[in-house]
């Protein structure tokens, strides 16, 4: 999934915005679903898509998986530019 395509999906965009605004955050699918007001199952799938696109990092443990934002500053700058172009929610 390329970044431009990801930005066309509402749920993916909401997740990216959340992590871009809270770059130090690490949260579970349930936590992220709460912050962005999304359905847990859909959020979980979207989180995995974003891991594949290297936008998020998955910290997998036996009981849960924590997701956090990328540390790649070039990618972060690219996302910041794309977020500026998107219309505010």
Q: CA-CA distance, 23 to 45, in Å (whole number)?
A: 20
Q: How many residues bind another protein (CB under 8 A)?
A: 20
Going through the chain in order, the beta strands assigned E by DSSP cover 26-27, 56-60, 65-69
Choose which of 2, 62, 85, 88 interacts with another protein (CB under 8 A).
62
Choose which of 23, 39, 41, 80 interacts with another protein (CB under 8 A).
23
Q: In terms of CB distance, is 3 or 57 closer to another protein? A: 57
User: How many angstroms separate the first and last alpha carbons of the chain?
Assistant: 23
CB burial of 65-74 (b: ≥16 within 10 Å; e: otherwise) equals: bbbbbbeeee
Which one of the spans 6-14, 24-32, 46-54, 80-88 is the region binding another protein (CB under 8 A)? 24-32
Q: Which residues bind another protein (CB under 8 A)?
A: 22-28, 31, 35, 57, 59, 61-64, 66, 68-69, 71, 73
């Amino acid at each position: 999934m390329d970044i431009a395509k990801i930005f066309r999906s509402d749920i993916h965009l909401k997740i990216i915005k959340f992590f871009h605004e809270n770059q130090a955050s690490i949260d579970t699918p349930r936590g992220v679903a709460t912050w962005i007001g999304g359905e847990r199952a859909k959020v979980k799938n979207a989180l995995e898509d974003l891991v594949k696109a290297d936008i998020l990092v998955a910290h997998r443990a036996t009981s849960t998986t924590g997701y956090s934002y990328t540390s790649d500053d070039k990618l972060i700058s690219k996302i910041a530019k794309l977020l500026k172009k998107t219309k505010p929610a």
